[in-house]
Structure 1
Amino acid sequence: MCLGVAGAGAGERIRLNTDCPPGFELSAGHCELRSLYQRYASLQDAGVGGLKTGLPDYRDGFSPRQIDLGRYLFFDPLLSADGDVSCASCHQPDRGFADGRGRSVGHDGQLGTRSAPSLWNVAFQQRLFWDARSGSLEQQMQGPLYDPVEMANTPAQLLASLNGVDTYRRLFAEAFPDSYEPAQGITLEQIYRAIAAFESSLVSLNSRYDQYAHGYADALTAREKEGLNIFRSFVARCAECHTPPLFTNQQVAVIGTPEPEGMAFDPGAEVLGESSQRGGFKVPSLRNIALTAPYMHSGRFATLREAAEFYTLGRGHAVPEGEELKIHWHIWEPQLSDSELDRLVDFMNTLTDERFKPREPALLPSGLAPAHRTTARGGELASGEQNNE
């Protein structure tokens, strides 16, 4: 089945942006990241938890047109089998590029097994998915595109749908002038690269915490500074896994998070073939964490306070009976007080920064409506709701 349409008259009004997104500078036709963190020493030289720690390796160097084309593809439900979901259905800009659900909803209203991770700063991520099974954005996106529970498409239908839209053929020719061939049309590699280009532009590095890290002492309140000190302390040890400036060490950790009631145990990164990683998941970034409730891989905790408290209730206290997990050595019993937990939440709230949130397209080349705006699944869930479990 081909869902391609003529664009409902919108095609001629759609033009790809020739300017780089905010936070990037155009250099020789490509967009290069610009951040104060590029002035600082790498993590290997700066130590764990330091304020002026440099960035890890990252993806940039895409053209402005490739980034903008990826933006249209990201929001277009044409990429799914029946035109009912888009990438933005599970990665909504107003929800921190997550979706406010413990388990994401995909094709034909089917429930997935995990929550949708935020895409902010995904250009810096070395491994992707909760179980770290993917090593590139191009590889990762093929999971949801072709998963029967998520977008349920096939490579052949995806190509037919996009090539069936005159506007998309024009936009791909503009974005890939050196590789687009009219006789061949749009290719899978071009589709993956355009979406990767857009996702790599989702940079969030200018929160109040960042202003403080760059030297503006009054960017944080006294309580937030207290929370930062607890976060970095050798008692709480939060920064050892949620390491600045990304607030993740990008490693897999087995922490013994309980599943929501009625859900089977999720083996997580054991899929990579290492039994010691059973129940392990990639340490998520805390950037924009206040926007992405509920928390953990299956939305087990509705609030940041609950998630923070989990770490102080005792090592392995929630491991299911019969499971012998290799709990990460950082998980112990810090015995934080209620006040200390409250200060940690205060600090995590300072990591919110949506200044470079991209503009959602008013028109899509396919002529379809953005799927995440017109849901037919019982309405939007408030952050933290878990009754969809």
Structure 2
Amino acid sequence: MKSKSTILILSIVGLLISGLLLFFFASKKSETYTDLAVLNCHCPPGFKLNEDNKCIAKNLYQQYDSPNNLGVGGLQTGLPEGRDGFTPQEIDLGRYLFFDPILSIDGSMSCATCHEPNKGFSDGLPTSIGKDNLKLDRAAPTLWNVGYLNRLFWDGRANSLEEQMAITLFSEVEMANTPENLLHTLNNIDNYRKLFAEAYPERGKKEDIELPEIYKALAAFQTSLVSLNSKYDQYAHGYHEALNEKEIEGLNVFRSFVARCAECHTPPLFTNQQFAVIGTPEPDGLPLDPGAEIPFDDKSMRGAFKVPTLRNIDLTAPYMHSGKFETLREAVEFYTKGRGHAVPKDEKLYIHWHIWEPELSDYELDRLVDFLKTLNDESFTPKIPEALPSGLNVTIQQTLIP
């Protein structure tokens, strides 16, 4: 039988062990944030690190000389010039910033709130939700291959990824932050000061974070969102077994001079980066969206929108700038219902000359949908951070991920 002193000693030892365990787990919990001060030194997939610590894009389309802005061309057509040359550290810092709601005025929204990786870097809504659950006017476009685009937003009001970020961060209806508040917030987070010093070592550890560094890191991450290894790409590079018979039929309809899809959605980026007035209907009860008319101050561009890429289009429903069409079948059917059939009677729009009346059959429309689904490729989807430098939780679609 144990003595009272022995029991007392064992009890004290037990309390000490329990205390040490609690301290250990509490320390481990805090380390999930402090350990973030080491950025990835490797390039993301699709990029190769050069001797200057820059990530340079590498893909099979670089072996083709024919650019995609000279017409439909063949399957083996080159890509337009894209953005690269960022360091692995810049890209990784941008990844943390992209998923961190600390960038918004009240810590409720991140870039990923409207550009969710699991939804084709869109949000699955007809139109996005902004600050204070405000319903916005347009759908969130995909960010896949955004580094190859020369104009951003549906109406093309941004010329660069950096300009795009500044507009979104400080829009009163989106992230609603201010430059002064954003800088004050990030400069008061030790983890971010360490990460920015690591990503931009030339400026010194004691210097404050600056706006151009924030924009550049976010741009660097977005350029890493590359999707060029779909079933279609494998077929285009010579592996013809990648597509089945119905998908090939759909490809032939897509490229035909009857449907004329490829004249605007030009492979391999599946956009010609131009603006087109196609006359899609607005949601019930809403007036016509003037589109590119406003930023370009051009009446002929009333109702014009940037031709979107079709990459991962099967993942980004609903479709069009207003999310009017719920399915791909509805979207492709719109183009065969007649030129300008959905334009309001009191509007005179300059409908793009490619929009006509191809009178495609139900069979041809179904095959078009089959083909469009071959453009899915998420093999280079980046990892969502398990913890954020700010200590906040990742926000996706207004949902917290602990």
- Range class of TM-score, shorter chain: over 0.9
Deviation, structure 1 residue 45 = 8.6
Structure 1 counterpart of 2:246, from 198, 220, 223 = 223
Match of 2:211 in 1: 188
Q: Is contact 1:59–1:200 with CA below 8 Å preserved after alignment? A: yes
Structure 1: tracts of 5 or more residues without a match: 1-6, 377-389
Match of 1:11 in 2: 33
Q: Is contact 1:49–1:232 with CA below 8 Å preserved after alignment? A: no
**Higher RCO, 1 vs 2 (CA within 8 Å, ≥6 residues apart):** 1
Write out per-residue CA displacement over residues 64-102 of structure 1, whole angstroms, 9 at most, x where no aligned residue.
000000000000000000000000000000000000011
Structure 2: tracts of 5 or more residues without a match: 1-28
Match of 1:296 in 2: 320
Q: Is contact 1:131–1:281 with CA below 8 Å preserved after alignment? A: yes
Deviation, structure 1 residue 141 = 1.0
Secondary structure, in 3 states, of the residue corresponding to 1:143?
A: helix
Secondary structure, in 3 states, of the residue corresponding to 1:141?
A: helix
Could you say if the C-alpha distance between residues 44 and 365 of structure 1 is closer, same or farther in structure 2, counting changes exceeding 3 Å? closer
Could you say if the C-alpha distance between residues 145 and 180 of structure 1 is closer, same or farther in structure 2, counting changes exceeding 3 Å? farther
Secondary structure, in 3 states, of the residue corresponding to 2:374?
A: helix
Deviation, structure 1 residue 248 = 0.3
Match of 1:212 in 2: 235
Could you say if the C-alpha distance between residues 45 and 74 of structure 1 is closer, same or farther in structure 2, counting changes exceeding 3 Å? closer
Secondary structure, in 3 states, of the residue corresponding to 1:67?
A: helix
Write out per-residue CA displacement over residues 110-146 of structure 1, whole angstroms, 9 at most, x where no aligned residue.
1111000000000000100000111100001111111
Structure 2 letter corresponding to 1:83: G
Q: How does 1:49-198 map to 2 (within 5 A)?
A: 49-180=73-204, 182=206, 184-198=207-221
In 2, Cα distance between the equivalents of 1:39 and 1:245?
Answer: 13
Question: CA RMSD of the aligned region, Å?
Answer: 1.4
In 2, Cα distance between the equivalents of 1:277 and 1:152?
Answer: 28
Match of 1:200 in 2: 223
In 2, Cα distance between the equivalents of 1:44 and 1:351?
Answer: 17
Secondary structure, in 3 states, of the residue corresponding to 1:94?
A: helix
In 1, Cα distance between the equivalents of 2:225 and 2:92?
Answer: 12
Q: Is contact 1:8–1:367 with CA below 8 Å preserved after alignment? A: no
Could you say if the C-alpha distance between residues 303 and 113 of structure 1 is closer, same or farther in structure 2, counting changes exceeding 3 Å? same
Deviation, structure 1 residue 373 = 6.3
In 1, Cα distance between the equivalents of 2:192 and 2:321?
Answer: 35
Secondary structure, in 3 states, of the residue corresponding to 2:164?
A: helix
Q: Is contact 1:115–1:298 with CA below 8 Å preserved after alignment? A: yes
Match of 1:380 in 2: none
Deviation, structure 1 residue 179 = 3.0
Secondary structure, in 3 states, of the residue corresponding to 1:293?
A: coil
Q: Is contact 1:268–1:277 with CA below 8 Å preserved after alignment? A: yes
In 2, Cα distance between the equivalents of 1:8 and 1:329?
Answer: 60
In 1, Cα distance between the equivalents of 2:205 and 2:385?
Answer: 26
Secondary structure, in 3 states, of the residue corresponding to 2:163?
A: helix
Structure 1 letter corresponding to 2:336: T
Q: Is contact 2:179–2:211 with CA below 8 Å preserved after alignment? A: yes
Q: How does 1:275-314 map to 2 (within 5 A)?
A: 275-314=299-338
In 2, Cα distance between the equivalents of 1:44 and 1:266?
Answer: 29
Structure 2 letter corresponding to 1:281: F
Segment drifting more, 34-43 vs 75-84:
34-43
Segment drifting more, 344-353 vs 106-115:
106-115
Deviation, structure 1 residue 44 = 6.1
Deviation, structure 1 residue 274 = 1.1
In 2, Cα distance between the equivalents of 1:180 and 1:348?
Answer: 49
In 1, Cα distance between the equivalents of 2:68 and 2:55?
Answer: 27
In 1, Cα distance between the equivalents of 2:367 and 2:149?
Answer: 28
Structure 1 letter corresponding to 2:180: A
Segment drifting more, 189-198 vs 48-57:
48-57
Q: Is contact 1:237–1:330 with CA below 8 Å preserved after alignment? A: yes
Match of 2:278 in 1: 255
Structure 2 letter corresponding to 1:11: Y
Structure 2 letter corresponding to 1:218: E
In 2, Cα distance between the equivalents of 1:44 and 1:98?
Answer: 25
Structure 1 letter corresponding to 2:34: E
Secondary structure, in 3 states, of the residue corresponding to 1:371?
A: strand
How high is the TM-score relative to the length of structure 1?
Answer: 0.93
Identity %: 63
Write out per-residue CA displacement over residues 131-170 of structure 1, whole angstroms, 9 at most, x where no aligned residue.
0111100001111111111101000111011111100000
* Larger radius of gyration between Structure 1 and Structure 2: 2
In 2, Cα distance between the equivalents of 1:169 and 1:230?
Answer: 53
Structure 1 letter corresponding to 2:32: A
Deviation, structure 1 residue 222 = 0.1
How high is the TM-score relative to the length of structure 2?
Answer: 0.90
